[in-house]
Amino acid sequence: MFTPYMLTQISVLSTPYILKMGLVLQLQPLKGCKPSSYKNATVHNVKTFLHGLQSVTAFSHSDNSASFLTYSPPALNLLNNSTVRYLGGSLSTRVIPIIYMLVVTVGIPANVSILCLLVTKIRKVSSAILYCSLAVSDLFLLLSLFFKAHYHFHGNHWVLGETACRVVTACFYGNLYCSATALACISIERHLAVVYPFLYKSMPKRMCAAWVSLALWGVFGVAIIPELIIQQSYWLPQLNRTTCHDVLPLDHSSHMFLLYYHLILIVFFLVVPLVVIAVCFARIINKLTRSHFDWVTYIKASTLVFSIFLVCFVPPGVLHFVHYVQLFVDGTETLYVYFNVAVCLCYVHTCLDPFLFLFMSKAAQSRFHFKTFKRKTLSSVLLTSNT
């Protein structure tokens, strides 16, 4: 979750600095000096964005008394009061990380239990492959939440390094699009089983499940690559902290492609899955409600798939899309805080996915009992007619 920013000035100091990917990489003094002195600086103007606001200043550190041996993130001076309030407020430093820890407490045991069931007791291999991919993706996200919670509890101060910041950010986007696509695939499978049962029965389910699983991890890879190759952490002198993915220069040459890239990902891996799930849900409900058999469990399972997507993916997806459209059209953005709150809803799906598997298992059992009942009834009718 990030805030694009307006980078208006870069101070190039007389002390050593390095330019990499078009950004000023400040050299940190060995004695722990912070980038607080900006004497004899030559100022250069550079245009970028900060969620629609006009003022962020970037500085490079100067200290003539120390030797510079290590690298640290570029330093940015935020002049946006609303951003400062959010980064230092109780919403981001208390409420959001508490929600993260609650999600982790429920989600990790639930997903580990489901993986154990899938490996030891599942009979239907095709379903096991799909749900196993979903559970592993959820576990990646849940493990990354420990680091996100640490970041927020410490006043939005990232101390784990640039590489860890990139990995944690990549886990969120990878899981977001991978899980949304997985739910769409589950809906398609259920739709085929209910609406086109003879076609579904004749399909090579294991092979299809394996290819779908590979495609899901392909989506995961496509989503994480940009987050792994760009700078994610920045030092804020006035707040005395380093942020992780909360500020990004989206009109800089190294980050500009994210505007277009994420808009494309949102359309193909959030909007399209939403349409697919909605259509499949409507057709499944229509088919089952006209049946004389009691399909309540199956209807509940299909409803849960649709509800998970509607509650957990639609709010952050809509805000994410509007966020990028605003930046693309006029460089303004006013939904950053709301987006971060909606992201908490997105994390909740990692707790609900295991229950989805349980519902689907019960639905499959009810379908099996229905088929057995039909065969027994047909056999008894044939025996009666023969006698």
Condensed to tens digits (0 to 9), the pLDDT of residues 165-178 reads 999 999 999 999 99
Question: For the chain, what percent of residues have pLDDT higher than 70?
Answer: 70
Residue 172's contacts (CB-CB under 8 Å, 6 or more residues apart) are: 1, 141, 144, 343
User: Do residues 66 and 154 share a domain?
Assistant: no
Classify strands 56-59 and 7-12 as parallel, antiparallel or unpaired.
parallel
User: Do residues 60 and 195 share a domain?
Assistant: no
Question: For residue 30, what pLDDT band results from cuts at 50, 70 and 90?
Answer: very low
User: Do residues 309 and 187 share a domain?
Assistant: yes
Q: What is the mean pLDDT of the chain?
A: 75
User: Do residues 165 and 184 share a domain?
Assistant: yes
User: Do residues 280 and 153 share a domain?
Assistant: yes
Q: Which of 1, 11, 3 is nearest to 326 (CA)?
A: 3
| Alpha helix positions (H), the chain | 81-88, 90, 96-120, 125-153, 162-195, 197-202, 205-229, 257-266, 272-289, 296-308, 314-330, 336-386
* pLDDT tens digit sequence for 94-134: 999 999 999 999 999 999 999 988 888 766 777 788 889 99
Which of 83, 108, 143 finishes a domain?
83
Which of 54, 83, 112 finishes a domain?
83
Rounded average pLDDT over 18-33 = 33
Give the H/E segment covering residue 244.
strand 241-244
Give a yes or no: residue 245 inside a domain.
no
Number of domains in the chain: 2
Give a yes or no: residue 32 inside a domain.
yes
Q: Which value, in Å, is the radius of gyration of the alpha carbons in the chain? A: 26
Kindly report the number of other CB atoms within 10 A of residue 304's CB atom.
Answer: 18
User: Do residues 107 and 190 share a domain?
Assistant: yes
Kindly report the number of other CB atoms within 10 A of residue 219's CB atom.
Answer: 21
Token readout for 386 is 């023969």
d(CA 179, CA 172): 10
Give a yes or no: residue 243 inside a domain.
no
Give the H/E segment covering residue 12.
strand 7-12
Q: Which domain range does residue 267 map to?
A: 89-232+252-372
Give a yes or no: residue 379 inside a domain.
no
Which of 83, 103, 126 finishes a domain?
83
User: Do residues 295 and 215 share a domain?
Assistant: yes
Rounded to the nearest 10 degrees, how much is the dihedral formed by the CA atoms of 43, 49, 50, 51?
Answer: 170
Cα–Cα distances (Å) from 185 to 181, 284, 334, 366, in that order, read 6, 14, 34, 21
